[in-house]
């Protein structure tokens, strides 16, 4: 199985009450200046980075009192599993992560990204996410994290050194795989594929040395990371959406003033909308830019597409209960069925 790659609507009354209690770290009571140190894999100066910087300015202005906002880009704080660990021990106060990292906190979020060829378009992704969002954000809060905005980064395509059109073509190749997803690697191996667990910083060197031959990636990141120069063949299928969110620790959230919380919530919603709109637009723009520089786009024919859909169908029973909790898996299919019924599908 080719892997997928790899961003709380309501704050509780308890959060607000705690700001008024003695000993709380709120600035109004003379505590240390609030700070948000945000870790992420996104490239410096990318649209995601720019959205985070704008969010930070809005938050700092509202929070006041010398509040600090710092973004660590390009995986400088480690992979997404490591970023989640750093938040837990207080080295980071927040992160912009894909489902790969978010599932380290709350496994049910995997349902939005790890079901191959399930979502047919962005309308379906948006519908399912919004239906599941309130309960999912409550689960994150129960784990000590507040989601302040949801985003996505485009569809996963397969970039390979050699042309490939059907599932069996990839069995002779070696795939980049997230080191933090052993369940997925086990499924891949059982189907005859070869995963090579790495971090994103290792992708380009691994491609250049032949350690891997295939990278599942969104076109935007393949362009930004220069993946296409070494893996110049792209299979044009929408394998899975890359879904993510901006999260902050509950401890950092409760250290903010009410004005800071409100500003962060509003800015998070705005940033999420910007990221989603721009990322979806840049899928086609990135492909066009790479084509001008030598990318070959390989589009499966109808028969080959049937093979890909058959592979996806065979994967769902393996994913249910292992990579995605069974109850959440069933909920996704229920929402999709309801949404498609309104569109006559």
The domain tally of the chain equals 2
29 pLDDT higher than 70: no
The model's confidence at residue 32, banded by pLDDT at 50, 70 and 90, is low
Q: Is the pLDDT of residue 14 over 50?
A: no
**Predicted pLDDT of residue 8:** 39
Q: What is the mean pLDDT of residues 125-132?
A: 96
pTM of the model: 0.83
Give the pLDDT confidence score for residue 11 in this predicted structure: 38
Q: Would you state the pLDDT for residue 345?
A: 64
* Residue closest to 229 by CA, chosen among 217, 241, 244, 237: 217
Out of 228, 259, 280, a domain closes at: 280
Quick check: is 194 in a domain? Answer: yes
Q: Does 93 share its domain with 168?
A: no
- Distance separating alpha carbons of residues 124 and 113, to the nearest angstrom: 12
Domain that holds residue 296: 157-239+288-342
* pLDDT at 186 exceeding the cut of 50: yes
Same domain? 234 vs 247: no
Is residue 122 domain-resident?
Answer: no
Q: What is the mean pLDDT of the chain?
A: 88
Whether 15 has a pLDDT exceeding 80, the answer reads no
> Could you tell me if residue 260 is inside a domain?
yes
Residue 180: what pLDDT? 61
Strands across the sheet containing 157-160 = 194-198, 174-178, 214-217, 157-160, 233-235, 296-298
80 assigned to some structural domain: yes
One domain for residues 230 and 271? no
* pLDDT tens-digit readout, 212-243: 999 999 999 999 889 999 999 999 999 999 99
Least confident window among 142-146, 197-201, 293-297, 338-342 = 197-201
Residue 211 lies in a domain: yes
Residues 299, 192, single domain; the answer is yes
pLDDT band of 10, cuts 50, 70, 90: very low
- Based on the fold, state whether residues 201 and 321 are members of the same structural domain: yes
- Answer yes or no: do 296 and 212 share one domain: yes
Residue 5 located in a structural domain: no
The enclosing domain of 168 has a CATH number of 3.40.190.170
Confidence band, pLDDT 50/70/90 cuts, at residue 280: confident
Mean pLDDT of 14-38: 49
Q: Are residues 187 and 251 in the same domain?
A: no
Q: By C-alpha distance, which of 166, 167, 160 is closest to 295?
A: 160
Report the percentage of the chain scoring pLDDT > 70.
90
Which residues, in sequence order, are CB contacts of 337 under 8 Å at separation 6+? Answer: none
- Output the CA torsion sign for 319, 81, 127, 159: negative
In a domain, 1, yes or no: no
Query: Which tokens in the block code for residue 247?
Result: 């999260």
pLDDT in tens, 169-179: 999 999 998 87
- In this prediction, residues 87-107 reach a mean pLDDT of 95
Model pLDDT for residues 238-276, shown as the tens digit of each residue = 999 999 999 999 999 999 999 999 999 999 999 999 989
* Poorest-pLDDT segment among 118-127, 139-148, 159-168, 271-280: 271-280
Split at pLDDT 50, 70, 90, the class of 200 is: confident
Pair 96, 201 in one domain:
no
| Token pair in block for residue 335 | 């929402």
pLDDT tier at 343 (50, 70, 90 boundaries)? confident
Non-local CB neighbours of 162 within 8 Å, separated by 6+ positions: 173, 213, 233
Looking at the fold, whether 257 and 173 belong to one and the same domain comes out as: no
* Total Cβ atoms within 10 A of residue 33: 13
Residue 7 inside a domain? The answer is no
Q: Are residues 176 and 30 in the same domain?
A: no
Same domain, 178 and 232: yes
What is the per-residue pLDDT for 279? 83
Confidence at 199, pLDDT banded by 50, 70, 90: confident
Shared domain for 274 and 326, answered yes or no, is no
């Amino acid at each position: 199985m080719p892997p997928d790659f790899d961003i709380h609507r309501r704050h509780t009354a308890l959060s607000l009450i705690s700001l008024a209690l003695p000993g709380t770290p709120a600035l109004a009571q003379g505590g240390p200046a609030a700070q948000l140190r945000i870790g992420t894999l996104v490239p410096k100066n990318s649209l995601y980075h720019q959205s985070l910087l704008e969010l930070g300015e809005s938050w700092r202005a509202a929070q006041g009192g010398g509040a600090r906002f710092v973004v660590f880009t390009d995986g400088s704080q480690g992979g997404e599993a490591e970023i989640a660990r750093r938040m837990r021990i207080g080295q980071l106060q927040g992160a912009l992560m894909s489902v790969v990292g978010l599932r380290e906190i709350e496994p049910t979020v995997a349902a939005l990204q790890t079901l191959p060829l399930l979502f047919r378009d962005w309308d379906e992704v948006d519908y399912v996410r919004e239906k599941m969002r309130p309960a999912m954000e409550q689960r994150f809060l129960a784990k000590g994290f507040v989601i302040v905005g949801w985003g996505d980064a485009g569809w996963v395509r397969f970039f390979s050194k050699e042309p490939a059109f059907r599932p069996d073509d990839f069995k002779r190749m070696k795939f980049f795989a997230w080191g933090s997803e052993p369940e997925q690697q086990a499924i891949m191996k059982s189907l005859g594929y070869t995963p090579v667990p790495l971090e994103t910083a290792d992708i380009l060197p691994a491609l250049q040395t032949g350690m891997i031959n295939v990278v599942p990636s969104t076109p935007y990141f393949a362009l930004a990371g220069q993946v296409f120069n070494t893996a110049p063949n792209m299979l044009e299928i929408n394998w899975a959406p890359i879904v993510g969110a901006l999260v902050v620790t509950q401890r950092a959230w409760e250290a903010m003033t009410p004005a800071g919380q409100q500003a962060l919530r509003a800015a998070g919603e705005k940033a999420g909308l910007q990221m989603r709109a721009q990322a979806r637009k840049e899928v086609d723009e990135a492909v066009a830019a790479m084509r001008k520089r030598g990318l070959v786009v390989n589009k499966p024919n109808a028969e080959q597409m049937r093979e890909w859909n058959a592979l996806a169908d065979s994967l769902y029973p393996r994913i249910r209960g292992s990579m995605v909790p069974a109850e959440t898996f069933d909920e996704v299919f229920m929402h999709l069925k309801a949404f498609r019924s309104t569109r006559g599908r």
